[in-house]
A and B are shown apart, each in its own frame.
Chain A
Amino acid sequence: MEAAAETLRKTPLHDRHEVVGARLVPFAGWEMPVQYEGIKDEHLRVRSQAGLFDVSHMGEVETSGPQAQDFLQHVLSNDVEKLGEGGSQYSVLCREDGGVLDDLFTYRLGPERYLTVTNASNHDKDFAWLARQAEEYDVEVKDVAADYAMLALQGPDARGILARHIEGEAPARMKTTTATVAGVECLVCGTGYTGEDGVELMVPPDGATAVWDALTADGAAPVGLGARDTLRLEVCFHLYGNDLSEDRDPLGAGLGWAVKLDTGFIGSDALKDVEPQEKLVPFEFTGPGIPRPGNPVLIEGKEAGVVTSGSLSPCLGTGIGLAYVPAGKADPGTAIEIDVRGKTRPAEVRKKPLYAPKGT
C-alpha cells in the first residue's frame, strides 16, 4: 500500500483532505477521500443541507472546430444537434457493436466548442478513441484533464451558498456558464450526481483551494466518494464499471432515452437490432441485509441475474441496488431474491428513483 501510494495522483485539494483527517483511498489511479466524518452523516447532510465533493479525478476532453458538432454526433449516443450553447447533455460512448465505452456529460461552451467530462478510469481509453475517430473530421480533440479541478456543490442549500460567492447569475439546471466564484473564474454547470439541486464547478487547479475554502467555510460539508456512490444509487444514476460496461449495451441498461438511433452514431447500427434480454432494474430489500455487487439474483429459486450496485440506503434504511434481470421480470413489484454470500434475501423490483429528493 505504502509504495503504491507514492505513485497515486493527488488532486489540488489533497492537503485540505489530509488536514481534516479524511480517509484517503486509491481510486482509478488517484488518492481520493472516501469519507470524512462518516458515509451516512455525509450522505444525509447532502440530502438535508449541502455538501462539497472533490471530484478532480474526473477527466475532460475539449472538442473544437468547424465540424465539432458533426463529430460529436458521430461518436455520442444522444442527439448533439439538440445541445444548444450553454447547455449540457448526457450520452454514452459506444463501440461499433454497441458495447458501452463510457457514459459522459458534454457541455457546449460555444458555437464550435464542447467540453466532455469522462470517468477517471476511462479517460485515457476515451481520449484515444475520440482522437482516432476525429481523424476524418475538421476538429481538434484535446485532452484537457490537467486544466481542471472539479468540485460538486450539491444539496437543497447548494444554490444559496453559491449565491454568496458567485459574481453574476448561476446557471439553471442542466445549463452551464462561465462565472467568478470566490474570486476564481470557472465553468459553473447546473449538473450533479446526487439527484439534488446544485452545481458542478470546473476550476483551474491553482484556484481550487480558494473555491473549496470559501464554500466549506460557508456551510458546505466536505463529502467523500463513499457518500457520492450511495447518493447516486438512491436516485438510480448509473456507475460505469458496475452498471455499465463494454459487455453491456445501453438499452438493457435503461439508457434508451439518451440513445438516438437515427443520428447514426457509432454503435447505432448494432443497437437497431437489439432487443435486450436483460434489463437493469432498481430493487429494495423487503427484509434485513445489504446487497453487494456480484450477488446473484434468484427468481423462483434459480439464478437469473446479477447485482451490479448495492448498498445500504441511508435515507430508506434498507438494502438497495441495481441488478440485471431477465426482461420479463423487470416490472416494478416483481418479487426477486438476492443471494448475499449464501443467505437468500427477499427483495422487490422498484420504480426509479428508489428515493425521490425533496423539492426536486
Chain B
Amino acid sequence: MAEASYPEELKYHPEHDWARIEGDTATFGITWYAQDSLGEVVFFDPPEVGATVTANESYAEVESVKAVSDVFSPLSGEIVEVNEALSDDPEKINSDPYGEGWLVKVKLSDTAEVDTLLDVAAYKELLG
C-alpha cells in the first residue's frame, strides 16, 4: 500500500474525496486517508457515463471485504468518463489513489463551486 500523501495540486472535499481541476472538467477520486480507512478495495461499481452528480452527494460506492463506503461528489456536473480498469483491478484505488485509482471524470456545471473545496493545507488540518 502506498505511503500517506496529499498532492499539492488537488482540491479536497471534507468527506475525503479529491478533485483535479482542468478548465471546466475535473477528475474525482478518494484520498489516501479514505482508502486507508476502508482497507483493501475489492469492488467498485462505476456510475453511468452521462449521469448527473451533485456536490456533497454520494455518486458511487467503494467496497472492502467487510465494509461499504459512499463516495461523495466534490463538485456538480455530468459524468463524461469512468475508470473501467477498476472493474478488474479495484485495488488500484489503494495502490495509486491519485493516479490509476481515479474514479470518474466530470464536466462541471458550475466552476465557481471549486472555491468551496479545501486546499491541501486545510485538508491536512482537518485530518489533524
Q: Report which A residues bind B (CB closer than 8 A).
A: 23, 34-35, 38-40, 43, 226, 229-230, 288-290, 292, 311-312, 314, 341, 343
Contacts and interface: CB of A to CB of B under 8 A. Distances in A.
Interface residues of B, number: 12
B60 to A, nearest CB: 12
Contact of A311 (B39, B45, B61, B66): B66
Contacts of A226: 65-66
B66 A39 contact: yes
Contacts of A230: 65
Contact of B45 (A39, A288, A292): A288
Interface of B: 39-40, 42-43, 45, 61, 63-66, 68, 87
Contacts of B63: 290, 312
Nearest to B43: A290
Given A43-B65, A229-B66, A312-B65, 7 more contacts: A23-B39, A38-B39, A39-B39, A39-B40, A40-B40, A230-B65, A289-B45
A289 B43 contact: yes
30 contacts: A23-B39, A34-B66, A35-B39, A38-B39, A38-B40, A39-B64, A39-B65, A39-B66, A40-B40, A40-B42, A40-B65, A43-B65, A226-B66, A229-B66, A230-B65, A288-B45, A289-B43, A290-B42, A290-B43, A290-B63, A290-B68, A292-B68, A311-B65, A311-B66, A312-B42, A312-B43, A312-B63, A314-B65, A341-B61, A343-B45
Nearest to A317: B42
Nearest to B40: A38
Contacts of A314: 65
A35 B66 CA distance: 11
Nearest to B91: A40
Nearest to B1: A38
Contacts of A289: 43, 45
Nearest to B64: A39
A39 B40 CA distance: 8
Nearest to A43: B65
Residue from B40, B61, B68 having most chain A Cβ neighbours under 10 A: B40
A260 to B, nearest CB: 36
Contacts of A34: 66
A311 B66 CA distance: 7
A289 B68 CA distance: 11
Nearest to A35: B39
